Amino acid sequence: MLLGHRTWVFENKPVIISTGTIGGPFEANGSIPNDFDLLHDDMWLKQASFEKAQQTMLEEACQFAIKNSSIQKEQVEFFISGDLINQITPTSFAAKALDVPYFGLFSACATSMESLALSAFLINGQGANYILSGSASHNAATEKQFRYPTEYGGQKPPTAQWTVTGAGCALVAKEGKGPVITSATIGKVVDMGMADPFNMGGAMAPAAVDTLETHLRERNVDPSYYDLIITGDLGHVGREVSLDLLKKQGISISEDQYVDCGLTIYREGQPVLAGASGAGCSSVVTYGHFLNKMKRGELNRILVIATGALHSTLSVQQKDPIPCIAHAVSIETGSDSI
């Protein structure tokens, strides 16, 4: 069912029956290591390149999602996923290894919730019974493409963020046991004219606010309906900007209720500047940390708003502004969800 222009409500409530989350050595030293299925002790994962290491992580996340369920791989009908690397090649190569019909997506760091929204839409409409939905990123691969190889030791301003080395995958099903996906609000491109690739949080904040305001209005709920409203990777800068923008729109959210995956994954003292980012950031934190909290009964309703900056190395070199997007998905437990 479509509410307004941008929000789907899933009356059949597709279920996240299992997940798989993979991280690297930096994530192993972060604040949520126990929420990963597997943590690697080196960035290479015994591969010949960082891009191949990212591919391996995504394959492993899919394998764990299937292993953690009661189904066989042959029952999975679609794989919907993406990443940050040129032509999303790590994801496409992972799809080849997985050997499942594949939709490749690019919404930068918003890809996790775009894939989850589309998976829920297909299953809610009887288009599939089981779909793997995921995203991945690798710090060294992303730095090499968008900025400078980490071996250069290039300096960054305090507004810059640290790309997560990780992959997260959810197995979405027509029925089963687990948190249910109740709605999704699809983002639209928001461009405020910002052109600094070292301030992604500030650039993405208006898109997050636009999607959140639309979601609350079209679903006719208050922020208090959710236990947590979780942004993908705004970091310290983007979080403060978005809170200011929400206040100007008359939307009141408490500091404790409004959290960010990019400020959750790492501990104080890790040199991540303004926080974490990357296509794998919101997927590993949501599918690992926050869904584990739901399974333990600590959370009943969450809204995850993954944010993405849709620039490329070429557009930045040509001095174009950075277009941004945010996709929101509500995940709930219990029989009273609306």
Across the strands, what pairs with 24? none
> What is the span of the domain harbouring residue 70?
2-173
Q: Looking at residues 28-34, what average pLDDT do you find? A: 97
Q: Bigger pLDDT: 148 or 101? A: 101
Q: Does the pLDDT value for residue 93 go beyond 50?
A: yes
Are 21 and 28 contacting, i.e. CB atoms less than 8 angstroms apart? no
Same domain, 154 and 190: no
Are 206 and 244 contacting, i.e. CB atoms less than 8 angstroms apart? no
Same domain, 83 and 9: yes
Are 184 and 2 contacting, i.e. CB atoms less than 8 angstroms apart? no
Are 324 and 310 contacting, i.e. CB atoms less than 8 angstroms apart? yes
CATH value at residue 321: 3.40.47.40
Across the strands, what pairs with 133? 80, 170
* Euclidean distance between CA atoms 230 and 260, whole angstroms: 5
| Burial label, 94 (beta-carbon count in 10 A; 0-12, 13-18, 19+) | buried
Tell me which of 152, 173, 194 is where a domain ends: 173
Tell me which of 114, 141, 173 is where a domain ends: 173
User: Pairing mode, if any, of strands 162-163 and 276-277?
Assistant: parallel
**Does any domain span residue 195?**
yes
Q: Does the pLDDT value for residue 218 go beyond 80?
A: yes
Q: What is the DSSP letter of 262?
A: G
**Does any domain span residue 38?**
yes
Q: Does the pLDDT value for residue 337 go beyond 60?
A: no
* Euclidean distance between CA atoms 173 and 164, whole angstroms: 27
pLDDT value, residue 156: 84
**Does any domain span residue 169?**
yes
Per the listing, tokens 């009273």 go with 336
Same domain, 35 and 130: yes
pLDDT tens digits, residue range 37-68?
999 999 999 999 999 999 999 999 999 999 99
pLDDT value, residue 338: 45
**For the whole model, what pTM was predicted?**
0.95
Cite the DSSP H helix spans in 41-175: 50-67, 89-98, 111-124, 139-146
* Euclidean distance between CA atoms 133 and 105, whole angstroms: 11
The backbone region for 200, taken as left when phi is positive above 0, alpha when psi lies in -120 to 50, beta otherwise, is: alpha
| Burial label, 11 (beta-carbon count in 10 A; 0-12, 13-18, 19+) | exposed
Single-letter residue type at 235: G
* Euclidean distance between CA atoms 113 and 297, whole angstroms: 22
**Does any domain span residue 337?**
no
Tell me which of 173, 190, 220 is where a domain ends: 173
